[in-house]
Amino acid sequence: MSTTTKLDKDEQGKSIDQKLYRSMIGSLLYLTASRPDILFSVCLCARFHACPKESHLHAVKRIFKYLAYTSSLGLWNPRNSSFDLHTYSDADFGGYKVHRKSTSGTCQFLGNMLISWFSKKQNSVALSTTEAEYIAAGSCCAQIMWMKQQLLDYGVNFENVPIRCDNTSAICVGKNPVHHSRTKHIDIRYHFIKDYIEKGNIELVFVPTQEQVTDIFTKPLDEQTFSKFRLELGLCKIE
pTM exceeding 0.85 = yes
In the predicted model, residues of the chain with pLDDT beneath 70 are 1-5, 177-185, 187-189, 239
In this predicted structure, what is the pLDDT of residue 4?
45
Nearest of 54, 111, 49 to residue 77 by alpha carbon: 111
| Integer Cα distance of 66 and 137 in angstroms | 30
Question: Looking at residue 239, what is its pLDDT?
Answer: 66
State the pLDDT at residue 131.
87
Q: Bridge partners of 228?
A: none
Count other Cβ atoms within 10 Å, centred on residue 24. Answer: 20
Summarised one tens digit per residue, pLDDT across range 50-63 is: 889 999 999 999 99
pLDDT of residue 98: 80
Q: For the domain 85-232, what is the CATH code? A: 3.30.420.10
The residues spanned by each domain of the chain are 18-71, 85-232
Q: With DSSP H G I counted as helix, E B as strand and the rest as coil, what are the percentages for the chain, rounded to 5?
A: 45, 20, 35
Q: Which pLDDT score, from 0 to 100, does residue 13 have?
A: 82
Q: For residue 184, with 0-12 CB atoms within 10 Å meaning exposed, 13-18 middle and 19 or more buried, which class applies?
A: exposed
Torsion of CA 225, 227, 232, 236, to 10 degrees: 180
Express each pLDDT in 124-174 by its tens digit: 888 888 889 988 998 999 999 999 988 888 888 888 999 999 988 888 887
Give the C-alpha separation, 12 to 6, whole Å: 15
- Bridge partners, residue 73, by sequence: 237
